[in-house]
């Protein structure tokens, strides 16, 4: 069965999930992103690759970091960017998702960046639009957040150069994290031999080992000797029922402190997809400390999203 993200030539048509993408496509995105890092540092931060193209940001969920970096990325590629405030749009008046998309396609949309609370929303749109229209999943339910996964992978490659031999620990609310799923798929595809998930049983998906990770419920054991520590936000808005005794108890067991970080390798990097809950997932002294690469992640995110959009537009 053909991957719905790829066109008949095996090139990227949409970016909906990292799962199932060939290694060479992931490497191509990372290499293309590296070429855009220089653009973001120039005085004139524009290239004409998407000139004349219209990019519609369809965010049915609140987001600051993701929506803003997509907007910056599209504008740096010289695209026309249209941000829709969905909360006051036709969807609140009863218009269906696909009717909204059809109307925007009638306005000559070339690309949709979609964030939605329902898993599969971006896939639904991608299966509906004409072949010349591209769809990027900016996060759907608990399912996937491929560009965040890619920018995390880019950050790891930037600081660690190679994935072979790396130990990566992903800590916290894996159950509700679309970022964690995308990152795990990307790391295993690129050959990282030791990917660990760390958290309480209530916040780890059943059968997560089948994704090729090892499971740890003790943070000190899970962090031992790792090269990369990825902290995840506690997604209270997605939790149903009492999955945790309290935020304070969570921090005591699973919050990243200097005392716990010392168990990782001396040159370990600390990441977080944001937004951070200081004092819940991570201590401020770690978030702002020498091991943290949390702000560079955001910077790299612009180049990664530029890479994805330029590759899609060229296919």
Instruction: Look at residue 10 and tell me if it is in a domain.
Output: no
Instruction: Look at residue 6 and tell me if it is in a domain.
Output: no
> 31 and 88: one domain?
yes
Instruction: Look at residue 234 and tell me if it is in a domain.
Output: yes
> 181 and 304: one domain?
no
> 214 and 305: one domain?
no
pLDDT at residue 220 greater than cutoff 80:
yes
Instruction: Look at residue 224 and tell me if it is in a domain.
Output: yes
Alpha-carbon span 272 to 240, nearest angstrom: 23
Write the pLDDT tens digit of every residue in 267-278.
999 999 988 999
Contacts of 147 by beta carbon, 8 Å cutoff, 6+ apart: 15, 66, 70, 136, 137, 138, 301, 304, 305, 308
> 115 and 169: one domain?
no
> 96 and 39: one domain?
yes
CATH of the domain at 208: 3.40.50.1370
Kindly indicate the confidence band of residue 25, based on its pLDDT and cuts at 50, 70 and 90: very high
Token pair 């660990």 in the structure block, residue: 196
Write the pLDDT tens digit of every residue in 170-201.
999 999 899 999 999 999 999 999 999 999 99
Instruction: Look at residue 3 and tell me if it is in a domain.
Output: no
Range(s) of the domain holding residue 135: 23-144+298-314
Instruction: Look at residue 252 and tell me if it is in a domain.
Output: yes
Alpha-carbon span 164 to 186, nearest angstrom: 13
pLDDT score for 1 = 61
> 173 and 285: one domain?
yes
Alpha-carbon span 216 to 134, nearest angstrom: 39
Write the pLDDT tens digit of every residue in 73-114.
999 999 999 998 665 554 555 578 899 899 999 999 999 999
SS3 label, residue 244: coil
pLDDT at residue 157 greater than cutoff 90:
yes
> 140 and 61: one domain?
yes
> 139 and 169: one domain?
no
138-152, 222-236, 256-270, range with greatest mean pLDDT: 256-270
> 249 and 172: one domain?
yes
Q: How many domains does the chain have?
A: 2
> 27 and 105: one domain?
yes
Q: For all residues of the chain together, what is the average pLDDT? A: 91
Kindly indicate the confidence band of residue 149, based on its pLDDT and cuts at 50, 70 and 90: very high
> 118 and 154: one domain?
no
For 21, 169, 224, 225, the CA distances from 166, given in Å and listed in that order, are 21, 10, 13, 10
Instruction: Look at residue 2 and tell me if it is in a domain.
Output: no
Alpha-carbon span 303 to 105, nearest angstrom: 26
Kindly indicate the confidence band of residue 249, based on its pLDDT and cuts at 50, 70 and 90: confident
> 110 and 120: one domain?
yes
Instruction: Look at residue 9 and tell me if it is in a domain.
Output: no
Q: Over range 127-134, report the average pLDDT.
A: 95
């Amino acid at each position: 069965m053909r991957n719905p993200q790829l066109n008949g030539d095996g090139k990227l048509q949409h970016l909906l999930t990292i799962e199932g993408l060939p290694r060479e496509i992931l490497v191509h995105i990372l290499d293309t992103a590296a070429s855009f890092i220089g653009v973001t540092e120039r005085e004139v931060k524009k290239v004409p690759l998407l000139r004349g193209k219209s990019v519609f940001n369809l965010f049915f969920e609140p987001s600051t970091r993701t929506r803003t970096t997509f907007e910056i990325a599209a504008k740096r590629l010289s695209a026309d960017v249209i941000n829709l405030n969905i909360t006051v749009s036709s969807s609140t008046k009863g218009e269906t998702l696909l009717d909204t998309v059809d109307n925007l396609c009638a306005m000559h949309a070339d690309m949709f960046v979609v964030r939605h609370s329902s898993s599969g929303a971006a896939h639904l749109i991608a299966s509906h639009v004409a072949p010349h229209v591209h769809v990027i999943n900016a996060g759907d339910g608990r399912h996937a957040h491929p560009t965040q996964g890619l920018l995390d992978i880019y950050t790891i490659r930037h600081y660690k150069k190679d994935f072979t031999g790396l130990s990566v620990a992903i800590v916290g609310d894996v159950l509700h994290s679309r970022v964690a799923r995308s990152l795990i798929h990307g790391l295993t595809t690129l050959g990282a031999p030791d990917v660990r998930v760390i958290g309480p049983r209530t916040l780890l998906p059943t059968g997560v080992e089948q994704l090729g990770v090892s499971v740890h419920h003790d943070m000190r054991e899970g962090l031992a000797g790792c090269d990369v520590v990825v902290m995840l936000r506690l997604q209270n808005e997605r939790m149903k029922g009492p999955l945790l005794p309290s935020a304070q108890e969570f921090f005591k067991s699973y919050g990243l402190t200097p005392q716990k970080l010392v168990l990782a390798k001396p040159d370990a990097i600390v990441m977080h997809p944001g937004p951070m809950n200081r004092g819940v997932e991570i201590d401020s002294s770690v978030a702002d400390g020498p091991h943290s690469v949390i702000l560079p992640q955001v910077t790299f995110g612009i180049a990664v999203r530029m890479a994805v959009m330029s590759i899609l537009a060229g296919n």
